[in-house]
């Protein structure tokens, strides 16, 4: 282990903390310096994501509403939602599927994250190739009227592009979340091969993922709102029967 032993391994994980601590330790301000640096870092990051979310809201308020209408229409007609992504985006894909399948309120909707079946993921990756790990699942499980939602911080993931191409051929509604300039997903959208794309304009993976979390939770809430409006007030729903 390197660095100040009083910090343990923190100097390798957070170099800015170690640098500040080394300067102030001699003056007896070690703890104060660490706390001050941590507070500055947290405040800066919070301000960055707040500004980024404002940019995303200004850019995508109307497109998100249109996307929610389209997704709600598919799900109301019996469609299902499939989500996918790599790494941290895989976790977000699972969170999104859970939000639809087991909502805090509103109507439970059929949703599946394509990253949760380890046997399927590893079999496809080992026997065929990681670039088809989502496309093959959509080919097997998807049907016209379903919805495919893929998340990527770069937008350049080859397996997401393949999945969207497969979903499009199968008559599914396609929704992409990307970062930076949109990468390969932006190319698909420009070619008319991706129905809805939301690009977070940032070069920070962390800020992109935080903003994407906001986007897909807003999408979920908007879908619930659309379905509730279409169903009408509770009294009317009871009168219509099952």
For residues 173 and 71, the answer to whether their CB atoms sit within 8 Å is yes
Cα–Cα dist 226/223, whole Å: 5
Top pLDDT among 145 and 14 is at 145
pLDDT digits (tens, 9 = 90+) for 148-196: 999 999 999 999 999 999 999 999 999 999 999 999 999 999 999 999 9
Cα–Cα dist 88/3, whole Å: 29
pLDDT at 2: 44
Strand partners, 214: none
Domain at 60-229, CATH from 3.40.50.10490, 3.40.30.10, 3.30.2310.20, 3.90.1150.10: 3.40.50.10490
For residues 101 and 108, the answer to whether their CB atoms sit within 8 Å is yes
Average confidence (pLDDT) over 213-227: 97
Question: Mean pLDDT over all residues of the chain?
Answer: 88
Q: What is the CA radius of gyration of the chain?
A: 22
Instruction: Of 10-19, 33-42, 170-179, give the range with the top mean pLDDT.
Output: 170-179
Average confidence (pLDDT) over 15-29: 54
pLDDT exceeds 50 at position 57:
yes
List the chain domain ranges.
60-229
């Amino acid at each position: 282990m390197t660095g100040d032993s009083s910090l343990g391994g923190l100097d390798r994980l957070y170099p800015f903390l170690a640098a500040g601590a080394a300067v102030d330790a001699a003056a007896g301000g070690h703890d104060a310096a660490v706390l001050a640096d941590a507070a500055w870092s947290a405040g800066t990051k919070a301000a960055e994501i707040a500004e980024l979310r404002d940019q995303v809201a200004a850019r995508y308020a109307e497109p998100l509403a249109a996307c929610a209408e389209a997704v709600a229409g598919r799900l109301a007609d019996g469609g299902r939602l499939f989500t996918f992504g790599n790494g941290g985006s895989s976790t977000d894909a699972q969170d999104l599927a859970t939000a639809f399948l087991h909502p805090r309120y509103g109507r439970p909707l059929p949703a599946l994250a394509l990253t949760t079946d380890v046997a399927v993921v590893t079999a496809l990756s080992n026997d065929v190739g990681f670039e088809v790990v989502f496309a093959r699942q959509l080919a097997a499980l998807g049907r016209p009227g379903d919805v495919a939602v893929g998340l990527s911080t770069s937008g350049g993931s080859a397996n997401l592009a393949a999945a969207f191409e497969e979903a499009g051929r199968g008559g599914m509604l396609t929704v992409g979340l990307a970062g930076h300039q949109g990468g390969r997903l932006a190319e698909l959208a420009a070619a008319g091969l991706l129905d809805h794309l939301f690009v977070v304009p940032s070069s920070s993976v962390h800020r992109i993922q935080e903003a994407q979390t906001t986007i897909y939770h807003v999408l979920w809430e908007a879908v619930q709102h659309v379905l509730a409006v279409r169903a009408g007030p509770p009294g009317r729903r009871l009168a219509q029967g099952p």
